[in-house]
Amino acid sequence: MNYYIKRELQEYGPYTLADLQRYVASGNILLTDLTRSEGLNDWVPVSQVIGNIPVPVAAPAAAVADPGAVYPAPPSLHWGIVLLLGIVTCGIFGWIWALIEASWLKRVEPSSKAMTYYIVSLGLFVGTIVVSTVPQYKAFGGLLNLAGLVMWLVAAFNMKSSLEEHYNSAEPIGLRLSGVMTFFFNVYYFQYHLTRVAEMKNKLAVGAAQGA
């Protein structure tokens, strides 16, 4: 039987009973978190599901440490502020924040190519501006602009894939991202979810400290 975890308004999973035991032991899931089994709508505390089932004995500290603790917290600036600053700076801050997000992702998911694709995209857009100043090359500038837009979308979808990979394996919270939202709102959409993750990690850290 599989189980889902509910924290605030977000639902994660599914997890097997063994997963629940392991994540409770590591601190990723709290006994006070709500859970339900597949096919049921009633949420109960995790402690009621674990019940008298023994939680696996903790291995040496390095082996069972909270996976979230070994990864840097994601940038947590509210997405609305990122959007406002992007508007005020005519999109420049949006570029800067995309690189900040991609730089952080590269640290937690080294296989991500988003940073490289964003840099290539930025280079193409800069090339568009430079080429457009020369009248006879304006048509070529249009091609560069189109190539820059395509590369931007490649970077965004690579970031989507890397985020889902990381948050469904190394830090399993069951993150799922919309392709449509990624296409139209990428930087701000990612930041919405990254802020939620940062808040969740902070609450887990506070809860662990209070329980220590």
- 118 pLDDT exceeds 70? yes
Residue 71 scores a pLDDT above 50: yes
* pLDDT, mean over the chain: 85
Query: Domains (ranges, CATH) in the chain?
Result: 2-65 (3.30.1490), 70-210 (no CATH)
pLDDT at 120 over 60: yes
Give me the sheet containing 44-45, strands edge to edge: 10-16, 2-7, 34-37, 44-45
CA 94 to chain centre: 17
Residues whose CB is less than 8 angstroms from the CB of residue 177 and which lie 6 or more positions away in sequence, other chains included = 160, 163, 164, 189, 190, 193
CA separation for the pair 59, 47 (Å, rounded): 21
SS3 186: helix
Considering the entire predicted model, what is its pTM?
0.68
Radius of gyration of the chain (CA): 21
State the pLDDT at residue 65. 41
pLDDT value at 43 more than 50: yes
Q: What pLDDT sits at residue 206?
A: 66
What is the percent of the chain where pLDDT is above 90? Answer: 47
Question: What is the reported pLDDT for 57?
Answer: 46
Q: Which of 40-49, 58-67, 71-80, 115-124 has the highest mean pLDDT?
A: 115-124
Residue 197 in contact with residue 176, Cβ under 8 Å?
A: no
- Above 70 in pLDDT, residue 59? no
Q: Which residue has the higher pLDDT, 43 or 58?
A: 43
Higher-confidence residue of 76 and 184: namely 184
Cβ neighbors of 36 (< 8 A, separation 6 or more) are: 3, 4, 6, 42, 43, 44
Q: Once rounded to an integer, what is the mean pLDDT over residues 153-180?
A: 93
Spatial separation of the C-alpha atoms in residues 162 and 40, rounded to whole Å: 31
Structural tokens at position 63? 């082996």
Segment of 48-57, 88-97, 134-143 carrying the highest mean pLDDT: 88-97
- 78 by DSSP, 3-state: which? coil
Omega of the bond prior to 14 within 30 degrees of 0, cis? yes
pLDDT digits (tens, 9 = 90+) for 95-108: 999 999 999 999 99
